[in-house]
Chains A and B, each alone.
Chain A
Amino acid sequence: MAFTGNFMCTSFKVGLLKADHDFTNATGHTFKLALYDNNASFTAATTDYTATDEVGDSGSYAAGGGTLTNVTPTSSSTTALTDFADLTFTSATITARGALIYNTTTGGGSGTTDTVAVLDFGSDKTSTAGDFQIIFPTADASNAIIRIA
């Protein structure tokens, strides 16, 4: 099964209403981003990180992916939004079709792997002994990575 576009996992939406996720910079939860090939089979029902079909370790990329830097949620007009700093894996040979964002400290706990969102790159992206960079969209009401209108 292949990637079929970007979507938020249903368990994340429920978690938001239970105050399980804190995107505050520095004091919030720790979110990670893992990369996958196009054999990955994520659906809205996916609840946890999986190593199945994750890209192999290379350069600064290791199983589980990289830690994201939270940008404290804000609002633009009536839309609430949050953002992450761009993430770069260096000296890496990677071919990835998409990614999974997950929370490793859900509800203030530790070692959790609760999913947030699945990201579809649209096509395979490859770095060869180089940098593989995830660029998050402009943090505004129309483009931010996570928005609640």
Chain B
Amino acid sequence: MEIGPVGVRTTQNRGFTSEELAEQCADKIISISDTADPVIQQQARAFKDRVANLVKVYLDQAVQSDRTTVYNALQEAGQPQLAELVRRI
């Protein structure tokens, strides 16, 4: 029986950016073996970059969409100034 190494990522005074999360997502989806043919490794890395870019686009949309939801919730709660603050983040 063996146990694998865990990693830890932290942020200071902010959350993770969509770029950081997209890279983590791509790392989970695509694993590239160090022993693979160099040409295959190159193709895999290019594909991984494309996946990360695509994931980032959708993460950005998710963030914006969630802010819309929060904005409306704050408006309905009678907090228009707070709602506007959230919208401008």
Residues of chain A touching chain B, judged by Cβ–Cβ distance below 8 Å, are: 6-8, 13, 86, 88, 90-91, 94, 96, 99, 117, 119, 121, 125-138, 140, 143-149
Contacts of A138 in B (CB 8 A): 27-28, 31
Q: Choose among B4, B8, B15, B16 the residue that contacts A137 (Cβ–Cβ < 8 A).
A: B4
Asked if residues A130 and B6 are in contact (CB atoms below 8 Å), the reply is no
Q: Which residues of A contact B6 (CB under 8 A)?
A: 6, 99, 119, 121, 134-137, 145
Structural contact, B13 and A129, CB atoms closer than 8 A: yes
Chain A residue at smallest Cβ distance from B10? A127
Chain B positions within 8 Å of A137 at CB level: 4-7
Given A121-B6, A134-B6: A127 and B12 interface contact (C-beta under 8 Å): yes
What residue in chain B is nearest A146 (Cβ atoms)?
B3
Count residues of chain B with CB under 8 A from any CB of chain A.
Answer: 20
Taking the closest CB of chain B, its distance from the CB of A117, in whole angstroms, is: 5
Shortest distance between the CB of B42 and any CB in chain A (Å): 20
Contact A86 B24, beta carbon cutoff 8 Å = yes
A-contact bits for B1-29, CB 8 A (1 contact / 0 none): 11111111111111110000000100110
- Of the candidates B1, B10, B31, the one whose C-beta lies within 8 Å of that of A125 is B10
Residues in chain A near residue B15, CB distance under 8 A: 90-91, 130-131
A8 in contact with B3 (CB, 8 Å):
yes
Q: B3 — which chain A residues lie within 8 A by C-beta?
A: 6-8, 117, 119, 145-147
Nearest B residue to A136 by beta-carbon distance?
Answer: B6
Do B8 and A121 touch across chains, with their CB atoms under 8 A apart? yes
Q: A134-B8, A143-B5 are in contact. List 10 more A-B contacts (CB 8 A).
A: A8-B3, A129-B12, A129-B13, A130-B10, A133-B10, A135-B8, A136-B6, A144-B4, A145-B4, A146-B1
- Which residues on the B side are within 8 Å of A144 (C-beta)? 4
Q: Could you say which residues of chain B place their CB within 8 Å of the CB of A88?
A: 16
A12 to B78, CA, bound (A): 53
The reply to whether B12 and A128 form a contact with Cβ atoms under 8 Å apart is yes
